[in-house]
Amino acid sequence: MLFVTNRRRKGNGGRKAGSKIRFDTGNRSPEVEFFACRFTGGDTHEFLGSNLFFKELRDQPRRNIFLFVHGFNVSMEDALKSASRLQAALDQQLGTDTPAASLVVPFIWPSAGAVLEYWDDQDSAKHSAAAYSRFLNFFVRWREAGRGDPATDNCDRRINILAHSMGNRVLVYGLRDWAEKNGGTPHLFRNVFMVAPDIVNESLEREKPGRLVSDSSRNVVVYHASDDLALRSSKAANVANAIASRRLGHNGPEDMNAVARNVFAADCSDFNNGYEPLGHSYFLRREYSQADPDPGVVLRHMANAVDTGRIAVPEGEITNRLGDGGERRAFVLPEEWGR
């Protein structure tokens, strides 16, 4: 599996493509640069460097790139495991040799991997923005490189992104950093999936930093659940630090008329606690495996968007949260959808 990280390395590895590299998983200080690597098992990885990394992206057969930014309280090992499970689920839903086949590429920022380190994780996520911005800038250059040459043109590669929990801070502040350095954001993503986003619920509104998320994507889906127990703890931690706004992952955008029309809000309250005890990591069912191959409704819903380029809206939309002009952009996502 290919992955990118801004964790600090151990020793002097990772200076030459093909060399071995290890990371200091106990150090939560994010690097400004990013390391493009291949996971080979264990805690020693292969350093690729940006040139070889993007060459491998170009040469691999899947036409879609599925970026994954993990959330709070996730170790490097667990982030790689989650990415591997995501890859298996997307292969099951979309195939491996179809136009919609997708390659998962995780961005691993230095989360503490410990429940009591919430505030440090929030700071680390925000300060990982520079590395993520630089990574996205390499993606833009890669997409543009070789335009017109069928052997090297990557412009038909579709890029989707799943940001979970506090990983949405990495996404939002990374795009802001990118816009400040480049004078705006290009239309890079086909779909942005914000699952249980641990950011304030006004974040996507006009004049807010999160508006760049909708500016850079064809579609944005906010998956939220009112009984997400992890976000209740997040709200309490933020209130203790004088930040009183509700979280976007609890009730979705505060005002659907204040966000762009390509933003959708999917209420997952009917099933999130059934997928795992805290009702927070519901982008995949906890039981998902080869023995129990149902990945869950959120993954099915995301896979459909990757395949079609459109956001499926079930019939049971929330009628009192219609957007401008009465669009059905806020809806309940029933667990049986897509079966």
Annotate 265-278 with DSSP letters as a single string.
EEE-TTTHHHHSTT
> What domains, with CATH codes, occur in the chain?
61-332 (3.40.50)
Determine the pLDDT at residue 292: 86
Determine the pLDDT at residue 115: 43
**In the chain, which ranges are continuous DSSP H helix?**
49-59, 76-94, 118-127, 129-144, 167-182, 211-215, 229-240, 248-251, 272-275, 297-308
Number of H helices, E strands in the chain: 10, 12
Question: Is pLDDT at 190 greater than 90 in this prediction?
Answer: yes
Question: Is pLDDT at 112 greater than 80 in this prediction?
Answer: no
Burial of 184 from C-beta contacts in 10 A (0-12 / 13-18 / 19+)? exposed
Sign of CA dihedral 147, 148, 154, 158: positive
Determine the pLDDT at residue 239: 42
Confidence of residue 320 (pLDDT cuts 50, 70, 90): low
Tell me the average pLDDT of the chain: 86
Confidence of residue 114 (pLDDT cuts 50, 70, 90): very low
Q: What percent of the chain has pLDDT over 90?
A: 54
Q: What is the pLDDT of residues 268-302, one digit of tens each?
A: 999 999 998 889 999 999 999 888 889 999 999 99
Q: What is the pLDDT of residues 120-142, one digit of tens each?
A: 556 677 778 889 999 988 888 88
Question: Is pLDDT at 235 greater than 80 in this prediction?
Answer: no
Sign of CA dihedral 93, 63, 160, 55: positive
Confidence of residue 327 (pLDDT cuts 50, 70, 90): low
Name the residue among 159, 258, 163, 161 with its Cα closest to residue 211: 258
Burial of 243 from C-beta contacts in 10 A (0-12 / 13-18 / 19+)? exposed
Confidence of residue 321 (pLDDT cuts 50, 70, 90): low
Q: Please say whether the beta carbons of 204 and 211 come within 8 A.
A: yes
Q: How many CB atoms lie within 10 A of CB 258?
A: 17
Burial of 236 from C-beta contacts in 10 A (0-12 / 13-18 / 19+)? exposed
Cα separation, 295 vs 48, in Å, equals 31
Confidence of residue 147 (pLDDT cuts 50, 70, 90): low
Cα separation, 80 vs 73, in Å, equals 14
Question: Is pLDDT at 232 greater than 80 in this prediction?
Answer: no
Cα separation, 190 vs 157, in Å, equals 10
Q: Is 177 helix (H, G, I), strand (E, B) or coil?
A: helix
pTM (two decimals): 0.91
Confidence of residue 119 (pLDDT cuts 50, 70, 90): very low
Position with higher pLDDT, 236 vs 266: 266
